[in-house]
Amino acid sequence: MFQILLFSLAPVFFVIGLGFVAGRRRWVDASATGMLGAFVAQFALPIALFLAIVTAPRSLLTAELAPTAAYVATFAAMLGLTLLVSRRWGLTPITTALFAQTVGIPNLGGIGLGLFQALEGPGSEVTLAVANLVGTLTVTLYCFVRLEMQGGGHIGRAVGAALVKPMTILPVLGFVIAFAEVPFPALGIAVLKPLAQATGGVGLFLTGVILSTQRLRLSRTSLFAVALSNVLRPALALALCLLLSLPPAVEARILVAMAIPAGFVGTILSAIYREGTAESGGALVATTVASLVTLPIWITVAVWLAGP
């Protein structure tokens, strides 16, 4: 068990730590994370998720649809709880949307890709792609719609604009192509693969750089983020898996995916919109630091679930 934890978590936190040190020592311009973040969020991650789905056999995709109900219920519960608490605390709609994006969806593009590749090797990206697709069509869609409506825009146009963003449209398009069993050109895969291969390492490094720009403040939002992302989300996912009686290996993958700490997309958007940086940044730092303790625990439970 110790060897599994060591070889799966050491690469993840090493690259995050490298990004953190690079940001703090100014080997890279930590204040210019927007460009690197745009590369990951607008190009590398959507393309990686697209390729993971579009190259998967239909039978594998069908198997990955089994836990969709658990993903939908988990993401919907996290979003609803975040909106409820944020409203009671008097956060603005934009800050609420960015905070919900940060704590609602795990860092699947950064920590998730690196962690799953270490745990299960190539091919595990399909699980993350399906989980991210569900999260995108729930939490991220809400966030994008709220941001599009900040100037009083019409909800119909806001939904349309949110649906055509790369993070939304590319995974959906990949799923439609793969499920229809339409062969994707080998040349297209070869052209897109370099971007997809860069996602895991760049996402981890970017997470570390963003962390270097934030301060750990034990505010009520950061503590709430830890409770939500590191404890409640994986616990709820585990309960739903047991309720649905999913195969043990599927339960293990869902649990690990949902135990990954908060993602960096909300923090990048906070810098762009110049609002909610303290809440989103604090959540990113707090959940990532807390995952040093919580992630090994949940991985241990997942390995136990999967069995020999």
Written in H, E and C, the secondary structure of the chain is CHHHHHHHHHHHHHHHHHHHHHHHCCCCCHHHHHHHHHHHHHHHHHHHHHHHHHCCCHHHHHHHCCCHHHHHHHHHHHHHHHHHHHHHHCCCHHHHHHHHHHHHCECHHHHHHHHHHHHHCCCCHHHHHHHHHHHHHHHHHHHHHHHHCCCCCCHHHHHHHHHCCHHHHHHHHHHHHHHCCCCCCHHHHHHHHHHHHHHHHHHHHHHHHHHHCCCCCCCHHHHHHHHHHHHHHHHHHHHHHHHHCCCHHHHHHHHHHHHCCECCHHHHHHHHHCCCHHHHHHHHHHHHHHHHHHHHHHHHHHHHHHCC
* Confidence (pLDDT) at 4: 60
75 pLDDT tier (thresholds 50, 70, 90): very high
The two tokens of residue 212 are 């270097």
Among the ranges given (15-29, 46-60, 202-216), the one the predictor scored with the smallest mean pLDDT = 202-216
- Is 8's pLDDT higher than 60? yes
Most confident residue range from 38-47, 83-92, 211-220: 83-92
Express each pLDDT in 56-74 by its tens digit. Answer: 888 777 777 778 888 999 9
Q: Provide the pLDDT confidence category of residue 230 given band limits of 50, 70 and 90.
A: very high
At residue 206, does pLDDT exceed 70?
A: yes
Query: For position 1, what pLDDT does the model report?
Result: 52
Could you tell me the fold of the domain covering 2-306?
A: Na+/H+ antiporter like fold (1.20.1530)
Mean of pLDDT values over 228-238: 94
Which neighbouring-strand residues pair with 262? 106
Average pLDDT on 152-160 reads 69
Q: At what angle do helices 155-163 and 141-148 cross, to 10 degrees?
A: 130
Q: How many residues does the chain have?
A: 308
Query: 226 or 306, which is more confident?
Result: 226
Give residue 151's pLDDT: 61
Q: Which of 14-28, 59-73, 285-299 has the lowest mean pLDDT?
A: 59-73
241/69 Cα distance (integer angstroms)? 9
Q: Is the pTM of this model over 0.85?
A: no
Q: What is the pLDDT of residues 167-195, one digit of tens each?
A: 778 888 988 898 888 889 999 989 998 88
| CA–CA distance, 113 with 132 (Å, rounded to integer) | 11
Q: What are 78-126's pLDDT values in tens digits?
A: 999 999 999 999 998 889 999 999 999 898 876 777 777 666 655 567 7
Alpha carbon distance 88, 96 (integer Å):
11
Q: Which pLDDT band holds residue 258 (cuts at 50, 70, 90)?
A: very high
Would you kindly state where each structural domain of the chain is located, as residue ranges? Answer: 2-306
Q: What is the mean pLDDT of the chain?
A: 83
3-state secondary structure 83-138: HHHHHHHCCCHHHHHHHHHHHHCECHHHHHHHHHHHHHCCCCHHHHHHHHHHHHHH
